[in-house]
């Protein structure tokens, strides 16, 4: 078997109805949803399966919904195969799927902590006038130079280094709006302001991060059984205390996804399995390295297809 990494998607991959198929076909997946409903104190399963979309897309619901669905899909995969990843990573909130898989957090704690994170980020978004935008087809250096100039008037920075040619910026809404025309003039193919409630992965989230650090003090982050390539600097980490510090920093720091995948490839990862709703990470991976093979598991049919392909059938 090729050296495999499991990767977990972040906010933006949600869709009403996600997880219902895996819930109905795997008792192990149903247990994950039941655990999440109990841990959160409300029916996140109902929001995943039935929405409505306006409720699902609220940050306080989106984050635990995506994580729960990813971990339900993981449970189904673990039921059907003994495949063990050599390493794990997750995009933003997807990092909690990685932490669970690596044994850093147990299931209940991973879901509870994600719920805390989501609520605090949602609260911070409502208290600050922030926004985000995707910049397509412009070099990292030009974007950084532009943001440095704009930051003289407030807070604006890079949220996500998603792949070559796709960077997401974040910050005060008036600066994001101002940056759209400037970046287009400098050669960006597209600059698209995103339909998000706040400036995630920016300094506007520092207050949320401080509250988060306080609230997770009592949670136990064990040392990872396998390498977790974390977001803030794309490095391989196994120390539990270090990972606990980094998930706090991650809330207001850039997601270094391009470097994460590149580092995993350098360290010998040969293929990836994206576990959870959508194929966002598979698309980014292909732009990072055209030779990357990324499988996707999001329902029982895709699970069977992946298992068959891995077996060479």
pLDDT tens-digit readout, 136-145: 999 999 999 9
- Condensed to tens digits (0 to 9), the pLDDT of residues 244-280 reads 999 999 999 999 999 999 999 999 999 999 999 999 9
Whether pLDDT at 228 is above 90: yes
Asked if 213 and 235 touch (Cβ cutoff 8 Å), the reply is: no
Domain segments of the chain as ranges: 4-125+204-310, 129-197
What pTM, to 2 d.p., does this model score?
0.97
Whether pLDDT at 313 is above 70: no
For the chain, what is the radius of gyration of the CA atoms? 19
Residue 224 DSSP code: P
Fold for 4-125+204-310, please state it: Malonyl-Coenzyme A Acyl Carrier Protein; domain 2 (3.40.366)
**Banded model confidence at residue 134, pLDDT cuts 50, 70, 90:** very high
- Condensed to tens digits (0 to 9), the pLDDT of residues 155-182 reads 999 999 999 999 999 999 999 999 999 9
Torsion angle defined by CA atoms of residues 86, 90, 94 and 100, in that order, rounded to the nearest 10 degrees = 30
Q: Which residues of 160-187 are buried (b: 16+ CB within 10 A; e: fewer)?
A: bbbbeebbbbbbbbebbebbbeebeebe
Torsion angle defined by CA atoms of residues 106, 110, 113 and 118, in that order, rounded to the nearest 10 degrees = -170
Whether pLDDT at 195 is above 90: no
Q: What tokens were used for 165?
A: 């040619």
CA-closest candidate to residue 280, choices 168, 131, 124, 114: 168
Q: Are strands 190-193 and 130-136 parallel, antiparallel or unpaired?
A: antiparallel
**Banded model confidence at residue 312, pLDDT cuts 50, 70, 90:** confident
* Cis before 4 (ω within 30): no
Just list the catalytic residues: 92, 201
**Banded model confidence at residue 197, pLDDT cuts 50, 70, 90:** confident
Residue 150, Cα to own-chain centre: how many angstroms? 27
Whether pLDDT at 102 is above 60: yes
pLDDT of residue 311: 85
Place of tokens 């959870």: 276
CA-closest candidate to residue 18, choices 53, 43, 48: 48
CA-closest candidate to residue 310, choices 270, 265, 261: 270
Residue 90, Cα to own-chain centre: how many angstroms? 5
Give pairs for 221-224: CB < 8 Å, separation 24+. 221/99, 221/104, 221/105, 222/103, 222/104, 222/105, 223/104, 224/99, 224/102, 224/103, 224/104
Domain 129-197 class, CATH top level? alpha beta
pLDDT of residue 196: 87
283: helix, strand or coil: helix
């Amino acid at each position: 078997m090729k050296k495999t990494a499991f990767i977990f998607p972040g906010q933006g991959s949600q869709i009403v109805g996600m997880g219902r198929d895996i819930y109905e076909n795997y008792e192990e997946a149903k247990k994950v949803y039941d655990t999440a409903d109990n841990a959160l104190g409300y029916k996140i399963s109902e929001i995943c399966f039935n929405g409505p979309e306006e409720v699902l897309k609220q940050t306080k619901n989106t984050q635990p919904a995506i994580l729960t669905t990813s971990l339900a899909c993981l449970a189904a995969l673990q039921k059907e195969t003994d495949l063990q990843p050599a390493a794990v990573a997750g995009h933003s909130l997807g990092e909690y799927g990685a932490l669970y898989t690596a044994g850093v957090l147990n299931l209940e704690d991973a879901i509870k902590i994600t719920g805390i994170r989501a609520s605090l980020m949602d609260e911070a978004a409502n208290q600050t006038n922030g926004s985000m935008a995707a910049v397509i087809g412009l070099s990292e250096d030009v974007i950084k130079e532009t943001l440095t100039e704009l930051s003289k008037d407030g807070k604006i920075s890079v949220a996500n280094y998603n792949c070559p040619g796709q960077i997401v910026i974040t910050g005060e809404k008036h600066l994001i709006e101002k940056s759209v025309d400037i970046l287009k003039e400098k050669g960006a193919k597209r600059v698209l302001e995103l339909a998000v409630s706040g400036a995630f992965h920016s300094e506007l989230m520092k207050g949320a991060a401080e509250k988060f650090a306080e609230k997770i003090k009592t949670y136990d982050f064990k040392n990872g059984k396998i390498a977790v390539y974390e977001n803030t600097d794309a490095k391989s980490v196994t120390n539990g205390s270090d990972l606990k510090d980094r998930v706090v920093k991650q809330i207001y720091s850039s997601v270094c996804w391009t470097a994460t995948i590149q580092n995993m490839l350098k360290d010998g990862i040969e293929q990836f399995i994206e576990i959870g709703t959508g194929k966002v990470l598979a698309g980014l991976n292909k732009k990072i390295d055209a030779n990357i093979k990324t499988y996707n598991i999001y329902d029982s049919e895709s699970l069977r297809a992946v298992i068959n392909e891995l077996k060479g059938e």
